[in-house]
Chains A and B, each alone.
Chain A
Amino acid sequence: MTASNAQTERPPRWRRLDLLDERPGALDGQLPEAPEDGLVAFPTALDRRPSLVVQSGVVVEMDGRAAADFDLLDRFVVAHGLDLDVANEAMALPSTEAARRLVDISVPRAAIQRLAAGWTPAKLAEIVALLDAAELVIATRKMRIRRTPSSQAHVTNRLDDPALLAADAATAVAFGFREIETTVPVAEHAPANALAILIGSQVGVPGAITQCAIEEAAELDLGMRGLTSYAETISLYGTEQAFVDGDDTPWSKAFLTSAYASRGLKMRVTSGAGAEVLMGAAESSSMASLESRCVALAWAMGAQGVQNGGIDGASVAGSVPDGFRELLAENLMVMVRGLESCTGNDTLVSESDLRRMARTMPTLLAGSDFLFSGFGSILRHDNMFGPSNMNGDDLDDFLTIQRDWGFDGVLRWPGEERIEAVRERAARAVAAVWHRLGLGLITPGRVADAVAAASSRDLRPDEPHAVSDAAAAIVDGRIGLLDVARALLDAGFEPESEALLALARIRLTGELLAPAAILDESMRVLSAFTDPNDYAGPGTGHRVSAARRREIAATRRVLDPRALAAEQAAASGSVGLTPTGPAVRGTDPREVVVGLSPAFGVDLHRALSGLTVGAVLGAVLEGIRDGGGIARVVRVPSSVDVGVIGLTASRLAGSGIGIGLQAKGTAILHRADLRPLGNLELYSVAPVLDRAAYLQLGRNAAAHALGERPVPVQNPYTDEAITARYHARVVTMMRIERACARADEPPVELAVDLDG
């Protein structure tokens, strides 16, 4: 056989592959593992092996490397981050046993944290690598350090529009976020953005804390003035090369960490898989190994927390096998070391909705100090960090998933009126502060536009230099928190002014510096010290309270049964159905009887398809007539079941052929000698049935009555999540059918008036 023959004889390509090629997830890049380039999730034979040799109180070897060969990272960890009092015990514990203790609810978190102070980076990486996905969730549930979970929002926009930033910050707080992070597409705008979200974040509910992610020294400067309250973009890397390429060392970063604390500013560092790979500096180490070095450094530097779980490199982790598991393992390493964990989920890791949710779901189930280190509370195109893994257009879905599983995902539906109120107040407040501090003019029209804007796409570009000029004025005037508070007070925004002063007072106590500190909505500091995670199995740790459960349950699209009843009542009058006496069995062999459900045309007047019950019944009767049959209509008060209704009708019909109709539009074609659940034709997918289907049902019924053999109607093609769309309505309508049912009442003859 020649090659060309082989080609011509090749069977045609399976066409479904063409469809799969068009799926969004097909755009995601995946890579073969390449441990030599760091493209591997968990440790391989190329990674450093856990070891620790101490002689006379001096570490002479760590993770297979002699002290003389220590790089900057090894040196810093050994000097500041290894507790030699527990190191012997900790390193002697087999990693399998350590991993089991992580998931064992009878081993307290504190016992593990004590040992962790003596675990080298390679040891901790080896331990977490032993946990599968479900075990990671349990370990995370136990090991995260603050009991009450929280979440952070990104608030940015492409125009750096101050009114929109303030309105969106207030909106994020109304949804429940307790940290708000902004950044700038134009660096010089930073002070103006920081000011806008500082004001917006205190509208409605006080105490959310804010940050502006920019170059480190500039960010520190904003914090020193009180325009921000925390920082998290202090980057760490897992190799010396990457660290130095990032223009820092562990010592420079440690000094910066102290500098932040010296100004009362909360600070966490940032690391995460993929960064070293992207810089071509992974030194043949797995992602988990490098991240473990970062986490050890964070602990050694004295940072209170870490933002990790891939972050900018999350999709690099996502391109290799076990990548998502590695991201959660990174978070767990932070928790094991007793640090605040800000668990990533802030980068869109896939074009596929399935994959991006798969990446985030375990975190949501386990809980975290911050579920997202930036939920994109704005729309994707306005996110100047790049789209987050969840964004403003995902909020309703997120709230529904939270409702589905009953976990505390921190967020809530604030209600439309509340959102309008806080957006308007926040935008007006920032305009007033701009005016009073001489930063520029934000017109009432601009405020109104920003309040209503879905994103900055709904805004006309402002004066090209307005934000730059305002930012320069903030810098030149050395404007700080007290100036903003004063301007707010003078402009009549007293609660917001007081909120800023309360923030300042709390800053003075140093409580916000404690690991995992946040301010709750009553301005109480929740941290690992004041609100420690005490999870020890079912019934312990953070649980969803009854009040919180009500909040979680109240999503925006919950069906109101009263609204449905009113909607049904509004459709009444499509058919007149007058009882004329007990139904009797007919004798005409052409006769088809149509049985109606208890609420049909009584309390229910519109089927799921949108047709009125009159239109449904009219089409069926017309079809019977068209087919040469004679129709009679009865009510079957004793049953809501379409099969029983149809069978009852057929046993009253001279032909033995009957039709059952529920008010929601479900229909059945029945014959007197069949069992209730048997049928000739079942029209079960009521939402997609149209007039033509009901006409055909009537014709087929008549054909059966005349002894013919009609072609059964096939349900139409549909891709809808039909049950998800309609079952809430179905349940409510069936409840109304049931309320109208009378178990002991025999069928009733009806006179039909289709003119209503």
Chain B
Amino acid sequence: MADGGRQDPTTRPPVLPTLETLAAGRLAPEDIRISGATLRGQAERAARVGYRPFASNLIRAAELVDVPDDEVLAIYEALRPHRSTATELEGAAHRLEALGATACAALVREAAEAYAARGMLRQIDAPSGRD
């Protein structure tokens, strides 16, 4: 709905959401999506006033802006306890890296290490997931 005739978000300049642009049918869902640059700007401000972990989170968020919803939810699912083998988590980290999400990839690798140490990985022959 409300997105008829829209162009590729990477080439189409963003349109400011106003009553005029709404009435003219010019708005698309990507026009109300936050940008990576905005998130990085917020991260810089936060880091300047001592909110370092909060800033790191915004950096990870900036990386995820262009990662599709389904992929985001799939990686969240993979990070739940006993869901993934070490190899599967490494695969997720790799996919994130390929999308430019290096901080997110590092978080996933760190999880893999912690899960291995605490027995939170899925055993290779166990069924995956609880669904």
Q: Do A and B belong to a common assembly? A: yes
Q: Within 8 Å of chain B (Cβ to Cβ): is A347?
A: no
Residue pair A507, B57 in contact (C-beta under 8 Å): no
CB-defined contacts of B114 to chain A, threshold 8 Å: 72, 75-76, 249, 251
Contact of A501 among B17, B76, B81 (CB under 8 A): B17
CB pair B50–A262 under 8 Å, yes or no, is no
Q: Are A249 and B111 closer than 8 Å at their CB atoms? A: yes
In the bound complex, residues from chain A placing their C-beta under 8 Å from that of B35 are 508
* Chain B contacts for A303, CB-based, 8 A: 54, 57
Measured between C-beta atoms, what is the minimum distance from A376 to chain B in Å? Answer: 31
* Among listed A276-284, A441-449, A479-487, interface-contacting one: A479-487
B79 touches A508 (CB 8 A): no
Residues 504-552 of A contacting B (Cβ, < 8 Å): 504-505, 507-511, 513-515, 529
Expressed in whole angstroms, the minimum distance between the Cβ of A137 and any Cβ of chain B is 26
Give Cα A248 to B65, complex, Å. Answer: 23
For B130, the closest partner residue in chain A by CB is A247
Q: Are B42 and A79 in contact (CB under 8 A)?
A: no
Which chain B residue shows the least CB distance to A217?
Answer: B73
Q: Would you list which residues of chain A between 478 and 497 have a CB under 8 Å from chain B?
A: 478-483, 485-486, 489, 494, 497
Of A192-200, A219-227, A586-594, the one contacting chain B is A219-227
Selected contact of A529 from candidates B34, B39, B45, B111, CB within 8 Å: B45
Of the four ranges (under 10, 10 to 19, 20 to 34, 35 or more), the interface on chain A belongs to: 35 or more
Residues of B within 8 Å of A747, CB to CB, are: none
Query: Complex Cα distance A262/B131, Å?
Result: 26
1/0 contact trace for B59-81 toward A, CB 8 Å?
Answer: 01111110101001101110111
User: Could you tell me the distance between the alpha carbons of A300 and B60 in the complex, rounded to whole angstroms?
Assistant: 13
The A interface is mostly helix, strand or loop, or mixed, namely: helix
Known A80-B56, A247-B81, A505-B17; judge A259-B64 contact (CB<8 A): yes
- The B contact surface, by secondary structure, is helix
From residue 243 to 258 of chain A, which have CB atoms closer than 8 A to chain B? Answer: 244, 247-249, 251-252, 254-258
B1-23: CB near A (< 8 Å → 1, else 0) gives 11100000000000011110011
Whether B57 pairs with A249 at a CB distance below 8 angstroms is: no
Q: A244 contacts which of B16, B23, B61, B81 (Cβ < 8 Å)? A: B81
The verdict on B41 contacting chain A, using a C-beta distance below 8 Å, is yes
Q: Are the C-beta atoms of A261 and B57 separated by less than 8 Å?
A: yes
A666 contacts partner chain B, Cβ-Cβ < 8 Å: no
Collect the chain A residues with CB atoms within 8 Å of residue B16's CB.
Answer: 505
* 0/1 interface trace, chain B 23-41, chain A, CB 8 Å (1 if under): 1000111011111001101
Please, which residues of chain B bring their CB within 8 A of the CB of A249?
79-81, 111, 114-115, 120
How long is the Cα–Cα vector from A159 to B21 in the complex, in angstroms? 37
In the complex, A304 has a CB within 8 A of chain B? yes
- Cross-chain contact B107 with A510 (CB below 8 angstroms): no
Q: A494 to B19, Cβ gap below 8 A?
A: yes
Find the residue from B28, B46, B61, B110 having the highest chain A CB count within 10 A.
Answer: B61
Q: Is the CB of B62 within 8 A of A262?
A: yes
Query: Quick check: is A690 within 8 A (CB to CB) of the other chain?
Result: no
Q: Give the residue name and chain of the A residue nearest to B23 (CB).
A: A489
Q: How many angstroms from the CA of A505 to the CA of B55 in the assembled complex?
A: 22
Residues of chain A within 8 A of B64, CB atoms compared: 258-259, 262
Which listed residue (A117, A264, A301) contacts B33, Cβ 8 A? A264
**Residues of A contacting B19 with CB < 8 Å?**
489, 494, 497-498, 501
User: Is A738 part of the binding interface, using a Cβ–Cβ cutoff of 8 Å?
Assistant: no
CB distance from A110 to the nearest CB of B (A): 8
Interface size range on B against A: 35 or more
Residue pair A301, B53 in contact (C-beta under 8 Å): yes
Shortest C-beta distance, B39 to chain A (Å), equals 6
**A168 in the interface, Cβ–Cβ < 8 Å?**
no
| Nearest residue, chain B, Cβ from A498 | B19
Q: Contact check: which of B38, B57, B80 meets A302 at CB < 8 Å? A: B57
Residues of A within 8 A of B38 (CB): 508-510
A323: Cβ under 8 A from any B Cβ: no
Answer yes or no: B49 CB below 8 A from chain A CBs.
Answer: yes
A299, B72: Cβ atoms closer than 8 Å:
no
Taking the complex as formed, is A673 at the interface, i.e. its CB lies under 8 A from any CB of chain B?
no
What's the Cα separation between A527 and B22 when bound, in Å? 29
| Cα-based distance from A304 to B18 in the complex (angstroms) | 29
The reply on A83 being an interface residue by CB < 8 A is yes
Per the bound structure, the CA–CA distance linking A221 and B69 in Å amounts to: 8
- Known pairs A264-B34, A505-B16; A258 contacts B45 (CB<8 A): no
Q: Is the CB of B107 within 8 A of A259?
A: no
Contact among B1, B39, B46, B72 for A477, CB-based, below 8 A: B1
CA distance A263 to B33 in the complex (A): 6
Closest chain B CB from A207 CB (angstroms):
15
Q: How far is the CA of A221 from the CA of B105 in the complex (A)?
A: 22
Residues of A with C-beta under 8 A to B104: 255, 258
Known: A80-B53, A262-B72, A510-B41. A479 touches B1 (CB 8 A): yes
- A529–B49 CB distance below 8 A: yes
User: Does A81 sit within 8 A of B, measured CB to CB?
Assistant: yes
How far is A514 from B29 in the complex, measured between Cα atoms in Å?
A: 23
Q: A258-B61, A510-B41 are in contact. Are A302 and B54 (CB under 8 A)?
A: yes
- Which chain B residues (104-127) contact chain A, with CB distance < 8 Å? 104, 107-108, 110-111, 114-115, 117-118, 120
**A to B CB contacts below 8 Å, 12 in the list:** A75-B117, A80-B56, A117-B52, A217-B73, A217-B76, A254-B107, A258-B61, A302-B55, A303-B57, A480-B1, A482-B1, A482-B17
Please give 17 more A-B residue pairs, beta carbons under 8 A apart, in addition to A224-B69, A247-B80, A262-B63. Answer: A80-B56, A240-B118, A255-B60, A257-B57, A264-B33, A264-B34, A299-B54, A301-B53, A304-B54, A338-B51, A477-B1, A480-B2, A486-B22, A501-B22, A509-B38, A510-B42, A513-B58
Residues of B within 8 A of A (CB): 1-3, 16-19, 22-23, 27-29, 31-35, 38-39, 41-42, 45-46, 49-58, 60-65, 67, 69, 72-73, 75-77, 79-81, 104, 107-108, 110-111, 114-115, 117-118, 120, 130
